Amino acid sequence: MKALILRQVTDTAQNPAPLELVEIPVPVPGENEIRINVTVCGVCHTELDEIEGRTPPSVFPMIPGHQVVGRVAEKGPGAHRFRIGDRVGVAWIFSTCGACGHCINGEENLCPDFQATGRDAPGGYAESMTVKEDFVFQIPDVFSDAEAAPLLCAGAIGMRSLRLSGIRKGQRMGLTGFGASAHLVIQTVRHGYPGTRIYVFARSAAEREFALTLGAAWAGDTTETPPEKLDAVIDTTPAWKPVVEALKHLKPGGRLVVNAIRKEEVDKKELLGLDYPEHLWLEKEIKSVANVARKDVSDFLRVAAEIPIKPHIQEFPLERANEALLELKQRKARGAKVLRIRHPDKE
């Protein structure tokens, strides 16, 4: 089968094509596993974090990709949840221990043995993959394969960020950055939090315009000041400057949620400009998001189907994955990018 592999951590500025297209054997499902014929896989900034070494794969070579949609093609011993041909998805959460205090208390995203799809186990930038059936999700019929892919990470992590923000109906929310996750968050808030006004901060004029078309009350540059103070802000960027800027705009007692597995180092010096009275005083909070739990994914798929949310997507063939990642690196994003691996009628 065809697959894209990462052989080593690399600097994409020096190597703009870090993923190599290879032919490898089709994987065989083990105990309680299924094999999925992948139709699409979403492209996420976390793949850049893996490639560039901020959260590197645990082994090499590695097949990236953790927003996977496909069809059940084969079942291993003991696998019984799905039928051959069922349409399913795989998210960032590949497996956990199931026995630690975090797992028992419903905080499996904090499990010390958390395994990530495409980082610790082969992911969806390939024609097939295997996974434990307990970490697989049924895809609602309302979505096409390509529409479903970004819901599995950009959407699920957005759902977790909303929960952590503590935002309530009628309050004021900010979104910094307006890519795959934020454009799903704004649709979720507009549906589930009536009266909540949303303020978007983005460097790109195209992103700001896009945010206004999706119902933002205001959209400005990262350094601009919104018309009113905010109860909560969700930061979806890979940079530090938006974090510092967002803290200025919180009300007393407001909360900033950082929705990123890692931050890039290029503007880390911005943190040196933190001023306690201006940025943190008056019981402001900063909360990070760590991975996702299965409940985040399943809950968001349900909510997204009820609304229904319609992700804005741009498709690339598998062979152009490096191009899609480069565009993501250059912040050329309107909605979500999705790799087309195969068509469902060509199993």
As averages over each run of 10 residues, the pLDDT of the chain (347 residues) reads 97 94 98 98 96 96 98 98 98 98 96 98 98 98 97 94 95 95 95 95 93 96 95 94 93 94 78 81 92 96 95 96 93 87 71
Domain 156-288, CATH class in plain words: alpha beta
pLDDT score for 124: 98
pLDDT score for 335: 85
pLDDT score for 280: 85
Residue pair 33/46 in contact (Cβ under 8 Å)? The answer is no
Range(s) for CATH 3.40.50.720 in the chain? 156-288
pLDDT score for 238: 87
Residue found by looking up tokens 């001023």 in the block: 275
pTM over 0.95: no
pLDDT score for 331: 78
- CATH superfamily for 2-153+292-340 is Medium-chain alcohol dehydrogenases, catalytic domain (3.90.180.10)
**Nearest of 289, 344, 319 to residue 126 by alpha carbon:** 319
pLDDT score for 346: 55
pLDDT score for 345: 62
Range(s) for CATH 3.90.180.10 in the chain? 2-153+292-340
- Hey, what are 321's tokens? 């994955």
Give the C-alpha distances (Å, rounded to integers) separating 306 from 192, 310, 336: 11, 11, 20
Dihedral sign of CA atoms 97, 151, 124, 175 in order: negative
| Displacement of CA 171 from its chain's centroid (Å) | 25
pLDDT score for 295: 95
